[in-house]
A and B are shown apart, each in its own frame.
Chain A
Amino acid sequence: MFGLLRGYFSTDLAIDLGTANTLIYVRGRGIVLDEPSVVAIRHEGPSGKKTIQAVGIEAKQMLGRTPGNIQAIRPMKDGVIADFNVTEQMLKYFIKKVHDTRLFHPSPRIIICVPSGATQVERRAIRESALGAGARQVYLIEEPMAAAIGSGLPVAEATGSMVVDIGGGTTEVGVTSLGGLVYSTSVRVGGDKFDEAIINYIRRNYGMLIGETTAEAIKKEMGSAFPGSEVREMEVKGRNLAEGIPRSFTITSNEILEALTEPLNTIVSAVKSALEQTPPELGADIAEKGMVLTGGGALLRDIDRLLMEETGLPVIVAEEPLSCVVRGSGRALEEMDRLSTVFTND
């Protein structure tokens, strides 16, 4: 009874709980929140009590810059929950943030995305954390499906469409037809792995240690997946491992391309194996229309060129690739009451 009342004052949400960013779509209002999935936790005094210092953008600015009593945590890793309690707190914070009412604790119905490769335990963890954050009911939707809906692919038609969603933690490849996923695969390579590869490359070749935030900035500034005509340069600051003193040095886009080769190859082989596994009739549709790239990774320069060269198929970058998944989930949310095929059961 009370839950019903609270449900009346709560709006249904679709959440893209990503490794890098969390986006929330509110039914009837669109995307209302887009913040990094980072939580800063403060440990208070001798009692060891923990409080949330900051969530989202503020917390992200603290990453790698915190004093001893504050811990900036990214609770999601590889597309799934790495720290259950912190994820729950973060979700609770975000859900509260998108609800205006102060009278009741919000108790919304929530659609939440899971990587198609997530295990049952990981799915259960995501579901439980959403329930713990106050959700009345939780529906799970697989990320490739959400990405396909959100990028405008004709998912319901009897034609094969392929979507490649390169997120922060995972890359999802899915082939949809007739409102369902025909094939989907997930590799745990994404934006984070790109950053990691850049950090490792610079440490190996320059003997310099840079932080994740710097690595991400380098990737955004001049990361590319395919050798382009122009070579860019960038000045980077980091700590010299031998001297132990911060130094600055210059790095070129070709070097970054070299650094990214390994994670990019993993993505390419995931796409190729998906094409191999796709039934021939749908493969023909995909050859005609090409595949669609979504997610933050699609913004990596020339990644469409790379996939085009490697597969010989047309490749399209979706418009506003960062929000495709949450838009797709939001679309599913709008039609939740008459829709069941796009949700997963476990």
Chain B
Amino acid sequence: MNSEGLQGIGPRLAAAREAKGLATAEVAAKLRLGVRQIEALEADAYEQLPGEVFVRGFIRNYAKLLELDPDALLPSQEVAVSEQLTVPSTNVRFQPSPIQRWLVLPVGSAILVFALVALLYAWLSSGDQAAVEQPAPEMAAAPHGSQIVAPEPVILDPAQPAPGGAEPAAETQVPATTAAAEQPGAAVPANTPSVIDASKPVLPPLPPVAAKPVPEPVKPAPPAASAVPAPATGPRPAAAPVAPANPAPTPTLTPAPTPAASRGLVFQPMEDSWVQVVDAKGQRFSKLLRAGSTETLEGTPPFRLVIGNAASMKLSHNGKPVDLKPFIGEKVARLKLGEEGASRLNPPPLGSKPADGAGQ
């Protein structure tokens, strides 16, 4: 505080006060100041007072009280303004990056859109994962398991299974045969660490049957189908390329001894309904089927099906009509459809009930 100019004013004020016969306490009460402050003023001890503006104001008020002329008393002075306007601070910046304000909106929305797309993709592919998680051990055992996830939108056309199917077939046969040689129940889980627990219950019933997988597919008869569990289908892809498919909607093909000819799924929706099919090799098909149309699909069984508006859907597999009623949740049916029959999908992870056979 620049109080040099104010030196000497205090004693003059004190003298004027005494001439008027006033006590310090009286003056303090009239000026609404503390006695301590009045004493400091009179002693020129300005450092004990708040600041120059206030000191000058106090002196002015005091002088007015004592009927002195404050302007004569106070040195004229450049009118003070605050010396400092902001809190002194070190140069630590709260926001070091000088992001342009106009950039925030476009960049922010771009990030948001990107995040949404990523989320959507993650959700879709997790849907794939769920569909693939359960595929029977033979799929998981194959080194191509990872390819299943690849979102190949290729429709399960008849040509596709041929080259693709041959390979996994060769390999998948290995676990099948080894399973036949030794304890398959133990061998299969060992080969398939990635298969989730839910798939395990499928295995136990197999061992005895797994030994004779080859004749299996040949029998289309319902009782046989229910008897044969999933892993038995292992060798089947091998057979698939042999018969280059018959895409026609052929319900009459049922008794055909060659499994290849009757691998078709035929959808006949009465109303518009959405269908998603994932076959054993992970090939995916999804489409909104229009009412009255007929859609035929071929692929490697077992299939995982999600059928919307299932009540109005007529489905036949290998020529045999499939009863969807037991699988319909809220309008949507989820089921796994193998050679041996249909079973419930997801919600109870594996109902372990093979449900009704396809032929019923």
Which residues of A are in contact with B by a Cβ distance under 8 Å?
A: 148-159, 178-179, 288-290, 292, 304, 308, 312-320, 323, 327-328, 330-332, 335, 339, 341-342
Contact = CB atoms under 8 A, between A and B. Distances in A.
B57 A317 contact: yes
Contact of B86 (A179, A290, A312, A313): A179
A155 B77 CA distance: 20
B105 interface: no
A154 B51 contact: yes
B85 A331 contact: yes
B80 interface: yes
A156 B50 contact: no
A332 B84 CA distance: 10
Contacts of A156: 82, 84-88
20 contacts: A148-B82, A151-B80, A152-B79, A154-B82, A154-B84, A156-B82, A179-B85, A288-B34, A290-B54, A290-B57, A292-B57, A314-B57, A316-B58, A317-B60, A319-B77, A319-B79, A330-B81, A335-B85, A339-B85, A342-B85
Contacts of A289: 50-51, 54
Contact of A155 (B31, B58, B85, B88): B85
A319 B58 contact: no
B291 interface: no
B57 A149 contact: no
Contacts of A179: 85-87
Interface string B20-50: 0000000000011110000000000000001
B52 interface: yes
Given A314-B61, A316-B58, A327-B79, A288 B85 contact: no
A151 B60 contact: no
A315 B88 CA distance: 28
Contacts of A149: 81-82, 85
Nearest to A335: B85
A308 B32 contact: yes
A316 B81 contact: no
Contacts of A148: 82
Interface of B: 31-34, 50-54, 56-58, 60-61, 77, 79-88
A155 B80 CA distance: 13
A341 B85 CA distance: 9
Contacts of B80: 151-152, 319
Contacts of B77: 319
A149 B81 CA distance: 6
Contacts of A304: 61
B9 to A, nearest CB: 16
Given A292-B57, A317-B60, A335-B85, A152 B52 contact: yes
Nearest to B86: A179
Nearest to B57: A316
Nearest to B80: A152
A181 to B, nearest CB: 13
A316 B61 CA distance: 7
A91 to B, nearest CB: 24
A327 B85 contact: no
B32 A290 contact: yes
Contacts of B86: 156, 179, 339, 341-342
A208 B308 CA distance: 91
B83 to A, nearest CB: 8
Of all A-B residue pairs in the complex, the 8 with the closest CB atoms, nearest first, are A316-B57, A152-B80, A152-B53, A289-B50, A156-B84, A179-B86, A314-B32, A149-B82
A331 B81 contact: yes
A345 B77 CA distance: 35
A335 B81 CA distance: 13
A317 to B, nearest CB: 7
A331 B80 CA distance: 11
A312 B56 CA distance: 19
A158 B84 CA distance: 12
Nearest to B59: A316
Contacts of B85: 149, 155-156, 179, 331-332, 335, 339, 342
A152 B82 CA distance: 4
A75 B57 CA distance: 35
Contacts of A154: 51, 53, 82-84
Contacts of A332: 85
A150 B81 contact: yes
A156 B86 CA distance: 5
A319 B75 CA distance: 13
B82 A331 contact: yes
Contacts of A178: 87
A323 B78 CA distance: 13
Contacts of A150: 81-82
Nearest to A323: B79
Given A314-B61, A339-B86, A153 B32 contact: no
A343 to B, nearest CB: 11
